[in-house]
């Protein structure tokens, strides 16, 4: 496969995958247990999910390692499993992806607040990410997805940890924004411009946003990122917010409406378009069809 | 003599050393502890909560302000206890069984403490039995439940029904919240109230304990 960064530099639009947590719950993850516990108990489920997303047309398969930093695992008494949780999740994705998709190793927040707001030191958080990412890279991840970050300092620590482990492994760093009267901000008060700037300074190869509400809010966020950064952009929205209707979970964003509105992301010049919470293989298949319909599978507008 | 507004201002600035020093000072001045609590500490956190709700400030400012308020409370608590000043209410909070998402619940806890409530935070993945037992043993007036997963929302109903089965409904009121939770859902399961965000949760809990 061509190196990921070459494809991004060439202007190719790549399709990410969809949600992991809900797929695991459907496959027997006991409620109240972290998704990473499945990696040890039922790695076949990870392969099955990866295959569904690969068959749907995803170019990138994310690993089940979102909460795989030792600090986060410690919240569930799984810190000692850091090595196995991360290695086996990459291996599962690797077995499915081989030659057909990139293995994107997910690296989410450590679950602790940094000083002075909380009690976690920068050294401890950096060390925690480094430990996780060493395993992810060693196990064969093609790139690292630092994602769902709300604290820029924590995101930067994760990006720097990744780059210190393996300077050549691409890092895609995305943060989660809320809608405010002043525009999109993370709950920790980070603007899109500050995120674009700070993540690039830390060494990210691509920047953007994931999670949050839905595609509607992601379009202005993508526009702000485009204005603030020359790096390739990654945008992975939720399928709207979950609603309970008569005991069933309903996401308002259908695959067709997501793909239709995601055309706007391609027009803005986004390089990686995928899904987060609530998105399914059907959403990814719709995004695949949309991207394949772009002229030459390329971004509609070049980067500034 | 520092006015109580200075205590409030120090909370708004997130200056915990300042709040501790100023609180000690107003205590020495002989201002009644209850007045210091209401017009200094809670007044400061009320401004912080309002600014957070209007997106003027973000979570970091709230966290620093809360730390500062707790520093003031540490100075004030022995006096409040000695004078028999009760907290405006005691609230048990937790993310329901099967759910690990606790950012929203933590924020509700901070805001409730900021409003003068005593908060017993049971953390995440909390079973109905544990929730009810804690409320009963601690004499809490309200149970606040949070869920982010639609799959765990039914646990809220279980808790409400357990209270009813033990004939504790009425004495212990329930409030629910979280991204997929709605007013209609709260009504459907028989919860006493629904809070749409952390600031609103405080208003709702105040109303439940008759302190709105």
Judgement on whether residues B107 and B191 belong to the same structural domain of the protein: yes
Q: What percent of chain B is modeled with pLDDT above 90?
A: 84
**Does one domain contain both B74 and B158?**
no
For residue B152, give how far its alpha carbon lies from the nearest alpha carbon of chain A (Å): 8
**What's the whole-number average pLDDT of chain A?**
94
**Structural domain harbouring B162:** 90-208
Q: Look at residue B5 and give its three-state secondary structure.
A: helix
| Any domain includes A282 | yes
What DSSP letter does each residue of A242-281 carry, written as one string?
Answer: EEEETTEEEES--HHHHHHHHHHHHHHT-SEE---TT--H
- Looking at the structure of chain B, the number of domains it has is 2
Contacts of B64 in chain A (CB under 8 A): 116-117
Question: In terms of domains, do B24 and B113 share one?
Answer: no
Pick the residue from chain B with its C-alpha nearest to A116.
B64
Say if residue B202 is in the same domain as residue B133: yes
What is the model's pLDDT at position B59? Answer: 92
Q: Which of B82, B103, B136 is the C-terminal boundary of a domain?
A: B82
What ipTM is given for this predicted complex? 0.85
Boundary of a domain, candidates B82, B104, B139? B82
pLDDT of residue A304: 45
Q: Which of B31, B51, B82 is the last residue of a domain?
A: B82
Pair (B105, B183) in one structural domain:
yes
At A125, which CATH number? Answer: 3.20.20.330
Residue A303 in any domain: the answer is no
Number of domains in chain A: 1
pLDDT tens-place string over residues B1-27: 568 999 999 999 999 999 999 999 999
Residue span of the structural domain in which A122 resides: 4-297
Q: B212 falls in which pLDDT band (50, 70, 90)? A: low
Please give the share of chain A, as a percent, with pLDDT higher than 70.
96
* CATH number, position B202: 3.40.50.280
Instruction: Kindly determine whether residue B180 and residue A187, on different chains, have CB atoms separated by under 8 Å.
Output: no
A276-296 pLDDT, tens digit each: 988 999 999 999 999 999 987
pLDDT score, position A26: 87
Q: What is the pLDDT of residue B168?
A: 95
Contact call for A180 and B151, based on CB within 8 A? no
- Decide if B150 and A180 are in contact by the 8 Å CB cutoff: no
Structure tokens at A119: 């009690």
A302 lies in some domain: no
**Range in A29-33, A208-212, B31-35 with the lowest mean pLDDT:** A29-33
Q: Which two tokens stand for residue A236?
A: 């992975």
Residue B193 has pLDDT above 60, yes or no: yes
* B156-180: pLDDT as tens digits: 999 999 999 999 999 999 999 998 8
The tokens for A180 are 């405010």
Query: Which tokens is B51 given?
Result: 């600014």
CATH of the domain at B37: 1.10.1240.10
B96 and B77 part of one domain: no
Sheet with A102-107, strands from edge to edge, namely: A14-15, A272-273, A233-237, A206-211, A171-175, A143-149, A102-107, A60-62
Report the residue from A32, A180, A241 with minimal CB separation from B180: A241
The verdict on B101 and B198 lying in the same domain is: yes
Q: Are residues B193 and B108 in the same domain?
A: yes
CA gap A84, B132 in Å, rounded:
38
**pTM of this prediction?**
0.92
Claim to verify: residue B72 and residue B106 sit in the same structural domain: no
Confidence category of residue A300, pLDDT binned at 50, 70, 90: low
What are the DSSP E strand ranges found in A78-190?
102-107, 143-149, 171-175, 178-180, 183-185
Q: What is the pLDDT of residue A303?
A: 52
């Amino acid at each position: 496969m061509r190196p990921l960064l070459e494809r991004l530099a060439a202007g190719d639009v790549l399709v990410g995958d969809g949600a992991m947590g809900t797929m695991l719950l459907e496959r027997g993850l006991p409620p109240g247990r972290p998704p990473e516990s499945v990696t040890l108990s039922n790695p076949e489920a990870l392969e099955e999910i990866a295959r569904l997303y690969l068959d749907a047309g995803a170019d990138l398969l994310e690993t089940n390692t979102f909460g795989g930093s030792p600090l986060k695992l410690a919240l569930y008494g799984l810190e000692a499993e850091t090595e196995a949780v991360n290695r086996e999740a990459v291996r599962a994705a690797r077995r499915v992806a081989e030659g057909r998709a990139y293995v994107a190793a997910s690296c989410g927040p450590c679950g602790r607040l940094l000083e002075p707001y909380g009690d976690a030191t920068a050294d401890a958080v950096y060390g925690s990410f480094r430990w996780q990412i060493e395993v992810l890279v060693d196990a064969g991840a093609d790139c690292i997805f630092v994602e769902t970050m709300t604290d820029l300092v924590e995101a930067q620590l994760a990006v720097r940890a990744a780059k210190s482990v393996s300077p050549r492994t691409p890092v895609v760093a995305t943060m989660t924004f809320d809608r405010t009267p002043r525009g999109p901000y993370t709950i920790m008060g980070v603007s899109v411009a500050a995120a674009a700037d700070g993540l690039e300074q830390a060494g990210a190869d691509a920047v953007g946003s994931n999670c949050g509400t839905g595609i509607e809010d992601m379009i202005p966020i993508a526009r702000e990122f485009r204005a603030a950064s020359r790096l390739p952009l990654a945008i992975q929205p939720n399928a709207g917010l979950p609603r309970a209707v008569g005991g069933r979970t309903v996401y308002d964003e259908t695959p067709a409406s997501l793909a239709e509105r995601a055309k706007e992301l391609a027009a803005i010049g986004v390089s990686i378009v995928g899904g987060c919470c609530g998105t399914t293989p059907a959403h990814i298949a719709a995004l695949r069809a949309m991207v394949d319909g772009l002229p030459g599978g390329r971004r509609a507008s070049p980067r500034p | 003599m520092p006015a109580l507004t200075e205590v409030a201002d120090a909370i708004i600035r997130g200056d915990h050393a300042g709040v501790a020093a100023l609180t000690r000072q107003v205590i020495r001045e002989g201002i009644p502890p209850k007045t210091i609590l209401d017009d200094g500490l809670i007044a400061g956190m009320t401004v912080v909560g309002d600014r957070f709700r209007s997106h003027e400030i973000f979570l970091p400012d709230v966290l620093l302000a809360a730390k500062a308020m707790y520093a003031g409370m540490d100075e004030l608590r022995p006096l409040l206890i000695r004078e028999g000043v009760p907290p405006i209410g005691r609230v048990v909070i937790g993310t329901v069984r099967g759910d690990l998402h606790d950012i929203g619940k933590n924020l509700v806890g901070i805001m409730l403490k900021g409003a003068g409530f005593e908060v017993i935070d049971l953390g995440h993945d909390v079973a109905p039995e544990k929730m009810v037992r804690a409320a009963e043993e601690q004499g809490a007036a309200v149970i606040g439940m949070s869920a982010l997963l639609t799959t765990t929302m039914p646990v809220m109903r279980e808790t409400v029904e357990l209270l009813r089965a033990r004939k504790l409904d009425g004495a212990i009121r329930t409030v629910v919240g979280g991204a997929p939770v709605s007013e209609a859902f709260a009504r459907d399961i028989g919860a006493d109230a629904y809070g749409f965000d952390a600031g609103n949760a405080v208003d709702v809990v105040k109303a439940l304990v008759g302190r709105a």
